[in-house]
Structure 1
Amino acid sequence: MDALTDLLDGPRARGAFMLRCVLDPPWSVRIQDEAPLTLVAMVRDEAWVIPDEGGPEHVRPGDVVIIRGPAPYVVADDRGTAPQIVIHPGQHCTTPDGTSLSEAMDLGVRAWGNAPDGRTEMLVGTYQMRGAVTQRLLAALPALAVVRGDTWESPLVGLLGEEIGRDEPGQEVVLDRLLDLLLIGTLRAWFSRPRAEKPGWYRAHGDAVVGPALRLLHDDLSHPWTVADLAARVGVSRAALAQRFGKLVGEPPMAYLTGVRLAQAADLLRESEATLESVARQVGYGNAFALSTAFKRERGVSPQEYRTSPEHRPAAPAR
């Protein structure tokens, strides 16, 4: 397993918020739902995505936008259109002065907007639970990433558009998995751009020494790795590996491994059937106590506190 595969294996939508937005200009929506990650696929017409910090992005049909939260942003038909709608945590929508718009904007099953046949159409998928997207993935992304429709081809947006309005048994699971696939495909396209600002571990993947070392680590997190062991596996000295790894990845091999292990542990803790002892063994810690100590030192909370904290559970969308 390479580092990118491991990273992209992380997204696990659970009860994600999915919506087809249909709007007639002029329109402007301020998003302050505090969600960790949102995808917007432009189907018809054009729009502007305007973060509170950073430059705006003009998006066209076929473009997919990845927005990393929790900072607020605006999506509008034009940069000069003032927000008319505010989306709050739990996907509750109001006017800027607080008047509820939930009923007025409801257009049916997972459809929302100011006109049933509006000129603008977007598909929106929001990961509402922080634990559904790994911190390592969020750290690797800018606040706003746009994959242009003319740079990649995928049937996923069309398939999501077909499924999003259906109301059948198991539909929520279908949509969750489609959102995961769309995110993975979009991220892969974004990371593969010629001038992409790639994380150090991504660039290091192509190195003749560090690339194999990264694959070894990700392929077997439970192995009791040492720098000496890893260096022997890739055929270089311990000093040479440590120096090259630190230069390309930006941190020493064991620090990188600790981060990956704890990120994986955080993901596994979302699974209620996984005991702390089991999680510890899977990510390379000898016992639950060793994992708890490392986890609390790194994250500031114990594994149990992390598992039960409301911020790692999805918020119920407003109706």
Structure 2
Amino acid sequence: MDILTEALASMRTGKPASVRTVGRAPWALRLPPVVGAGFHVVLYGTCWLIPSQDLEPVPLSPGDVVFLRDGRGHVLADHPTTPPQDPAEEDFAGGRGRPDASPIGSFRVGGDGPETRLLCGSYDLDQGRPHPLVRQLPEVIHLQTRHGRHAELSAAVQLLGAELENPRIGSDGIVPSLIDSLLLYILRAWFDDQTPAAVDGWAAALGDPAVAPVLAAMHEAPAAQWTVESLAERAGLSRAAFARRFATLVGEPPMSYLTHWRMTTAARLLRESDTPLTAVAARAGYGSEFAFAKAFKREYGLAPGGYRRQTAAARLGA
């Protein structure tokens, strides 16, 4: 079971939005917060990312990729001292809302100096209930793909750049898929960069010989009648040793995480399918629809049917 893919899929609430941005010095854009996570790929030229007052500006070069975990507001600029301007909201809509729209919007800014070309965008992720794997990521991830680093991420960036520079037949289908894949390549590259001595939390849990198989089992079969004893047996540890190790790495006790994942699984089914509530309850490990509804309302503040109607209405209004 690919836990990273499952964790991200559980948070997805829509398709990524993206804008091909061209800046000519002097230029600076103040980008507002987004509901989800933000990203930037430098395709040509150089610029600076200014995350906020409490973080230092980050110089960016061709091939650099930045991921902003919480979609925080920030500034992109040719130089940290350039006064930023606020783009209109429609400038960064990515063409969404029109059936004939391109998957990539476009925006130009600045004067007549050196040019920088970027792909800017956001992923619709439910930040109200983020998976702990995502919650433990740094607020800003900066990855460099030059000089042979992160070969797969570099290949994705090059493919994306080629499609944007020279759109051809099939580009409207290829570009969104590449942007979706980019998120997984970004997080894989970040996990690969973590040294064993510095790794803790979920980064350590995914590589732990005892905890990783247990997490995979929970994700693969959330409806199974797991107990701390049966999970400890799978981990090859005593009950007490397993419970301590799991809580230390994952950040919560085994059964607490199992409940969280069961409810997350149920919420995804309610959002993305018309599966009957009885079947949703069974796939979340509940033999009784009443018991499931009670647990779900405790977790989400809404009964399952109300949650399904609310998320459906939100999609129609997007």
TM-score per shorter chain, which class? 0.7 to 0.9
Give the number of aligned pairs. 301
Shift in CA distance, 213/309, structure 1 to aligned 2, threshold 3 Å: closer
Counterpart contact for 1:134–1:263, Cα < 8 Å: no
Taking the TM superposition and a 5 Å limit, the aligned residue runs for 1:184-203 are 184-195=184-195, 200-203=201-204
Distance in structure 1 (CA, Å) of the matches to 2:45 and 2:8: 30
C-alpha displacement of 1:17:
1.4
Stretches (4+) displaced over 6 A: 115-118, 167-170
Pairwise CA distance, 1:121:
0.4
- In structure 2, the residue matched to 1:103 is none
Structure 1 unmatched runs, 5+? 94-107
Counterpart contact for 1:41–1:157, Cα < 8 Å: yes
The residue correspondences of 1:158-237 to structure 2 (distance < 5 A) are 158-164=158-164, 166=167, 171=172, 173-195=173-195, 200-237=201-238
Contact 2:18–2:92 (Cα < 8 Å) also in 1: no
Structure 2 gap segments, 5+ residues each: 95-102
Deviations 1:110-149 (A, max 9, x none): 3221379971000123224638x95445413222111122
CA distance in 1, matches of 2:25, 2:292: 53
The residue number in structure 2 matching 1:86 is: 87
Report percent identity of matched pairs: 36
- Aligned AA (1:20): R
1:35-78, Cα deviation, whole Å (9 max, x unpaired): 31122111111122222353132221111111123431111111
Which of 136, 143, 159 is 2:139 aligned to?
143
Shift of 1:84: 1.6
CA–CA distance in structure 1, aligned partners of residues 280 and 67 of structure 2: 30
Cα offset, 1:303, TM superposition: 3.6
Distance 1:311 1:71 in 2: 26
What is residue 98 of structure 2 aligned with on the other side? Answer: none
- The Cα offsets for residues 278-309 of structure 1, whole Å up to 9 and x where unpaired, read as 33322323344333322332233444444424
Q: What corresponds to 2:150 in structure 1?
A: 152
Aligned CA RMSD, in angstroms, stands at 3.5
The structure with higher relative contact order (CA 8 Å, sep 6+) is: 1
Native 8 Å contact 2:25 2:115 kept in 1: yes
SS state at 2:217 partner:
helix
**CA deviation profile, 1:7-41 (whole Å, cap 9, x unmatched):** 35557574421221111011111111523112211
Partner of 1:43: 43
TM-score normalised by length of structure 2: 0.79
**Structure-2 residue corresponding to 1:102:** none
Task: State the distance in 1 between where 2:58 and 2:302 align.
Answer: 37
Higher helix share: 2
